[in-house]
Amino acid sequence: MATINKKTVSPAPTSIAETENKTAAQSSTSTADAAMVYATTLLVGTFLGILFTKSEVVRWQRINDMFLFQDSHLYLIIGSAVTVAMLGMFLIRKCKASDIYGKPIRYSPKPFHKGVILGGTAFGAGWAIAGACPGTIYAQLGSGVGLASFTCVGALAGMYLYALTKPHLPH
């Protein structure tokens, strides 16, 4: 009975039925799209992990050398990465490119608040001490560096610390 009902309802020109059909069709595409998003994200992540490792930004010594001004390697990497990313974003904006699912690409600007300064300084200190940033922690773990689990657990503890203290911190 239910199927017969549906069949007789769907071709009807009533706008409600059409909207329902459309929503159903959309949700079924977005399920396939979601799987695709995860697949491409995994691919881009792998690409990035290889680059993190082979460019040596995963090495503690490289970070230390950067802060000691003994090595321009990391400055040049960050500089050229930002330049290329900027050109890419310029083209995306200028050429009104959507993502491959047809959705508009929009950068959501990160807002300014006191945490950008205070948290930024704390992050920089951690970057120098552990010689890692969140991205390279994952690359170190994947490479089988057991000690990196201390950095990782620390980072999670830091995140919990922020979750806990957020209401009392200046923003």
Contacts with a copy of itself, residue ranges (CB under 8 A): 1, 91-92, 94-100, 102
124 counts as binding other proteins under rule CB under 8 A: yes
In the chain, count H helices and then E strands.
Answer: 7, 0
Q: Which does 12 bind (CB under 5 to 8 A by kind): other proteins, a copy of itself, none?
A: none
23 counts as binding other proteins under rule CB under 8 A: no
Identify the residue among 12, 24, 25, 82 touching other proteins (CB under 8 A).
82
Q: Nearest Cα to 131, choosing from 46, 51, 82, 139?
A: 139
130: left (phi over 0), alpha (psi -120 to 50) or beta: alpha
Please, what is the minimum distance in Å from the beta carbon of residue 60 to other proteins?
5
The helix/strand/coil state of 13 is: coil
At 119, list the tokens. Answer: 């948290």
Task: Identify the residue whose tokens are 């950068």.
Answer: 107
C-beta closer to other proteins: residue 29 or 83: 83
20 counts as binding other proteins under rule CB under 8 A: no
99 counts as binding other proteins under rule CB under 8 A: yes
